[in-house]
Amino acid sequence: MCGICGYISEKKINIEEMNRVIAHRGPDNQAFFQNNNFGLGHTRLSILDLSDESNQPMTSRSGRYILVYNGEIYNFMELKKELQALNVTFEKESDTEVVLEGFEFWGVELFEKLNGMFAFSIYDNKSNKMYIVRDRFGVKPLYYYSANNDFIFASEIKSLLASNRIEKKIDYQGLYEYLHFATTLGKTTFYKNIKKLEPGYYVEYDLNRKSFKIEPYRLNYEVIMSKDSLKDAIEKTRELFETSVKRQLVSDVPIGIFLSGGIDSTAITAYATKHYKGKVKTFSAGFDFDNGDNELENAKFIAEHFGTEHHELHIKGDNIIDILEDVNYHFDQPFGDAANIPLYLMSKALKGKEKVVLQGDGGDELFAGYHRYQRLHNYKTYKFISKFFYLFKNIIPKDSSKYKGLRFLFALNQNDPSKELAYILSQEMFDENPADYFSKEVKRELQVVNPFLRYQYFYNKFKKHDHVNRALYTDMNIILPDLYFEKVDRATMANSLEVRVPFLDNELVNYAMSLPSKYKVRGKEKKYLLKKAFKGVVPDKILFGPKKGFGVPFQYWLRTSMKDFMLNTIRESELYNSKIEALMQEHISNKKDNGYILWKLLNLSLWLKKSGISL
């Protein structure tokens, strides 16, 4: 796992500085290549082939191609054998060389053959073209900027900004998406001229013509439904998942597992201990702010059951303010999901001790692990009840816990069905518009953009499917890359830790997406298929036990230990007005829980101060 950066420009850009600011992604080696009109930079976290021969930028055997690459290709040995059968020779043991020589042989057709998480750039000195590409699930990040004959790209926005070629302007589309979903969506960022390369896409830049095109190589909405029986689906899911775990154990450094105590991480542990040649290490965490509400007991039981070398991390968050500032720096733009804090702390506890861990992200989105899928399984019933939304709204007091439950009915009560999923996933209450907390000038800018565009796009792509699968497919394309993988990459790579996600294997995802939703949700039981597939693999105590989630108590912090920090930070910000002051006082006095919007406003205030951007 690494960091990459590069540029195409008529003027030289300081590629060394672009590289330096992302050195945390790859502390083992930093190097760059530069000529008159382009540069490539790389910071290396050595996982496969630890020798200096696999440092990057790497040049192909023919001398035609130069590569900088971030990620892991889990099927690189299969591709290597395929290429060797076609008389391609290799000098190294790394997946990097397979990517490089594979591109020389197959060109852009290589991209769809890759099973893994990656973002890389290849320069072709014969055609004078540069390619940048991102994995189909968006596990690894890639940002780019194009203006004034400059094309600049990097793993993180801070590297782009280190080029000193980018004018900083706010993107109101990104701001409004953040206010609803705690992150920006799709290609949008907080910066007007900086874009994310979307998952499954590549850029081909022609240096002679000074022009580029963006093309998809794999789209996650091309779903061909399977006709397999439930029995066959159970068997095949089990086989594909085991194969995925086995693939992702390839490494020249020890591999560990983030063991949460749930079904997904337990299944990873079960197959890892079966196929890993060494002793599997597992890591579980308890925090001094979780009030004992954690899965340490379950994790210890699982570790003993499978005989892992288990480590309990007892982590203090006694300086959350400093931690929040650190996290804000590493994320480069506001991020409103407070779950990044415990993940950052866990990764920090392992810094310098571990390089690779496996984690269970993706299981819920593939196999319907959330309550919303269960509700959508009974869509017609809830849709009918939603007709009485305004009646319930007037009857139920605002301070009642049931009032928050009305948000789901509000979502289904939309005249525009493409907004249903968007409102289900929005963190704000149905009777509040976050734009109302801003000045008239900012509110005017927000009113002309649509924060639900991404959801409307995928609603149209998936509308031929039933409501559960449509939600699953949409989450696969939005929530996973834009919220969860953004959180995982920044929080872990800030501490030079690679996280692998076995549920995001190409073959497993293709198969899971092809299955009918009735296999995934059965009555009130979520993850029905997965539980059947892991019967006898995962202990029944875990398989059928209650799901125990852990929420970060940021609402409580904002009333107590972070109260003064919040008040001072937001009051000193250009955001501040009487409406926001009322929000804070309402929250502090415990009259109303305004934690979601205040947490986002606090992170936004910190970012505005550090970025120097004005709304």
Of the CA atoms within 13 Å of residue 377, those in its CB half-sphere come to 21
Is residue 497 one of the residues assigned to a domain? no
pLDDT value of position 261: 86
Q: How many domains does the chain have?
A: 1
Is residue 30 one of the residues assigned to a domain? yes
Is residue 384 one of the residues assigned to a domain? no
Query: Can you tell me whether residue 118 is helix, strand or coil?
Result: strand
For the chain, the maximum distance between any two Cα atoms, rounded to a whole number of angstroms, is: 75
Mean pLDDT of the chain: 92
Q: Kindly state the tokens that stand for 436.
A: 């109302």
pLDDT value of position 548: 67
Least confident of 32-36, 113-117, 536-540, 600-604: 32-36
| Cβ-proximal residues to 561 (8 Å cutoff; 6+ apart), any chain | 320
> Which residues span the domain enclosing 98?
2-216
pLDDT value of position 135: 97
pLDDT value of position 550: 63
- pLDDT tens digit sequence for 327-363: 999 999 999 999 999 999 999 999 989 999 999 999 9
**pTM score, whole prediction:** 0.95
Assign 42 a pLDDT band (cuts: 50, 70, 90): very high
pLDDT value of position 545: 82
Is residue 341 one of the residues assigned to a domain? no
Is residue 556 one of the residues assigned to a domain? no
Under a CB-based contact definition with an 8 Å cutoff, are residues 198 and 187 in contact? Answer: yes
Q: Residue 216: pLDDT above 80?
A: yes
Q: Residue 241: pLDDT above 90?
A: yes
Number of H helices, E strands in the chain: 29, 17
For CA atoms 230, 236, 239, 245, the dihedral sign is negative
pLDDT value of position 219: 81
Provide mean pLDDT across the span 406-410. Answer: 87
Under a CB-based contact definition with an 8 Å cutoff, are residues 280 and 308 in contact? Answer: yes
Provide mean pLDDT across the span 582-590. Answer: 95
Provide mean pLDDT across the span 201-220. Answer: 94
pLDDT value of position 505: 96
pLDDT value of position 405: 78
CA distances from 65 to 2, 100, 182 (A): 19, 7, 39
Is residue 160 one of the residues assigned to a domain? yes
Assign 427 a pLDDT band (cuts: 50, 70, 90): low
Provide mean pLDDT across the span 391-418. Answer: 82
Higher pLDDT, 52 or 85: 85
pLDDT value of position 55: 84
pLDDT value of position 419: 84
- pLDDT tens digit sequence for 288-302: 887 767 788 899 999
Is residue 454 one of the residues assigned to a domain? no
Provide mean pLDDT across the span 414-420. Answer: 82
pLDDT value of position 23: 95
Spatial distance between the Cα atoms of 147 and 575, rounded to a whole number of angstroms: 29
- pLDDT tens digit sequence for 532-585: 999 999 999 999 887 766 678 999 999 999 999 999 999 999 999 999 999 999
304-329 b/e with 16+ CB inside 10 Å = b?
ebbebebbbbebebeebeebbeebbe
Provide the percentage of residues in the chain whose pLDDT is more than 90.
75
pLDDT value of position 194: 98
CATH of the domain at 47: 3.60.20.10
Measured at the CA of 352, the angle between CA 350 and CA 357, to 5 degrees, comes to 50
Q: Residue 68: pLDDT above 90?
A: yes
